[in-house]
Amino acid sequence: MQDGRTTLSKFLIDTLDRKPGPEAASGLSALLIDVAASIKTIAAALTRGALGGQHGSAQSVNTHGEEQKKLDLVTNDIFLQHCEWDGLLAGMVSEEMDGVYAIPDAYPRGEYLLAFDPLDGSSNIDINGVVGSIFSVLKRAPDESHAADEASFLRPGREQVAAGYAIYGPSTMLVLSVGNGTHGFTLERDVGNFVLTHSDIRIPEDSCEFAINASNERFWEPPVRRYVQECKDGRTGCRAQDFNMRWIASMVAEVHRILMRGGVFMYPRDFKTPAMEGRLRLLYEANPMSFIVEQAGGLSITGRERILDMKARALHQRVPVILGSRNEVARIHRYHGEYDRGEDKPFTSPLFNERSLFLPETPA
């Protein structure tokens, strides 16, 4: 007998298995249930906090040269253990592993590819702040029969068949999309079920809130500096309204806020480390978050191009990310175009900020 609530399993069976379509009976719902099991296990581990004995450095660095925390490795293993056995995956990629993780010979292989960041924003662990996990699911190309390798994963993000994230805050939520909108489930801890609480999330098209690490301002490109300056000018500037700024240092937390009430998140291209194209990783951060955001009516770009159209060149490729409320992201895209075409003279003029003199009203 139904209690009127929709659990994750019911949602997935109704959405994927009982609807005609490419993922019907393909096992995608079972794979996502295993991903959800990883998330529940991670939530339980995080809730124990310092009592779990897993805080602090693992005394190792990952493939990006970043210090790994014990929890980075523990949460990575949790994903591997929950997802490697089910016969649905051909391989896995994660922020914490150099190459493609091959499914052990003891288990059957499947046709899906899982890329994940097991613990996003892990610098927040030490301060008991919000962290998350991010995941992306691709299907192997139909003509691919060899063991999954790097090339198997190097596909445009628009080909994802599912993507999502978990946010470990006061409550744990799983937000996901299988291509029919973005939906949020809240973990009912005492029962262990994810329950649908946020159906078909829509990001407001306009917003007066932006998120960026402002300590990098001197390294930003002019179009980003222009946008942020205009926001900071508030009601006395060309935007004629006050803006609010937030920075949680966890992409999951920023994206979640944007899904709940709108806004823009930017980790743009900058010249702090010229060799790096951006800060965030394409396969397991930018692509899944872009999929989630677009499925909720928002936009996600590098500044110049749609992230979901990029073809990845490497497993751990980094990209600039600007995502969120449609009209704000479109405006930032336009600013990049105007800059590239040399059409944004008002911004570079010393009279920039003199709204009445130089800046036309610029509806997105």
Does position 118 interact with ligand F6P (CB under 6 A)? The reply is no
Does position 213 interact with ligand F6P (CB under 6 A)? The reply is yes
Question: Cβ distance 35 to 84 under 8 Å?
Answer: no
Phi, psi of 361 (to 5 degrees): -60, 135
Site for ligand F6P in 253-312 (CB under 6 A): 267, 280
How near is the Cβ of 321 to ligand F6P at its closest, in Å? 9
Does position 193 interact with ligand F6P (CB under 6 A)? The reply is no
Choose one: 68-76, 97-105, 233-241, 246-254; the region binding ligand F6P (CB under 6 A).
Answer: 246-254
Per-residue DSSP letters for 287-350? HHHHHHHHHTT-EEESSSSBGGGPPPSSTT-EE-EEEESHHHHHHHHHHHHHHHTT--HHHHST
Q: Which of 27, 91, 121, 204 binds ligand F6P (CB under 6 A)?
A: 121
Of residues 69 and 355, the one with the C-beta less far from ligand F6P:
69
What's the CA gap between 36 and 42, in Å, rounded? Answer: 10
Q: Is 307 helix (H, G, I), strand (E, B) or coil?
A: helix
How near is the Cβ of 342 to ligand F6P at its closest, in Å? 30
Choose one: 98-106, 198-206, 249-257, 311-319; the region binding ligand F6P (CB under 6 A).
Answer: 249-257
Question: Cβ distance 92 to 102 under 8 Å?
Answer: no
What's the CA gap between 355 and 351, in Å, rounded? Answer: 9
Of residues 168 and 267, the one with the C-beta less far from ligand F6P:
267
- How many residues sit close enough to ligand F6P to count as binding (CB under 6 A)? 8
Does position 197 interact with ligand F6P (CB under 6 A)? The reply is no
How near is the Cβ of 126 to ligand F6P at its closest, in Å? 13
Closest to 319 (Cα-Cα) out of 287, 284, 290, 278: 278
Of residues 152 and 250, the one with the C-beta less far from ligand F6P:
250
Between helix 28-47 and helix 70-83 the angle, nearest 10°, is 150
* 294-330 per-residue burial string, b: 16 or more CB within 10 A, e: under 16: bbbbbbbbbbeebbbebebeebbbbbbbbbbbbbbbe
Q: Is 87 annotated as a binding residue?
A: no
Helix (H) / strand (E) element for 71: namely helix 70-83
Q: Tokens at residue 71, please?
A: 């929890």
Cα Rg, the chain, nearest whole Å = 21
Does position 317 interact with ligand F6P (CB under 6 A)? The reply is no
Does position 120 interact with ligand F6P (CB under 6 A)? The reply is yes
Q: Which of 15, 250, 290, 295 binds ligand F6P (CB under 6 A)?
A: 250
Q: Is 285 annotated as a binding residue?
A: yes
Q: What's 286's DSSP letter?
A: I
What's the CA gap between 72 and 56, in Å, rounded? Answer: 10
How near is the Cβ of 230 to ligand F6P at its closest, in Å? 22
Of residues 110 and 121, the one with the C-beta less far from ligand F6P:
121
Choose one: 21-29, 153-161, 247-255, 338-346; the region binding ligand F6P (CB under 6 A).
Answer: 247-255
Site string for ligand F6P, 61-90 (x = CB under 6 A): ------------------------------
Question: Cβ distance 258 to 329 under 8 Å?
Answer: no
Phi, psi of 170 (to 5 degrees): -55, -35
Q: Which of 162, 251, 307, 359 binds ligand F6P (CB under 6 A)?
A: 251
Q: Is 56 helix (H, G, I), strand (E, B) or coil?
A: coil
Number of other CB atoms surrounding residue 13 within 10 Å: 15
Q: Is 62 annotated as a binding residue?
A: no
Does position 249 interact with ligand F6P (CB under 6 A)? The reply is yes
Q: Which residues does the annotation place in the binding site for substrate?
A: 120-123, 213
List residues binding ligand F6P (CB under 6 A): 120-121, 213, 249-251, 267, 280
Binding residue positions: 95, 117, 119-123, 213, 285
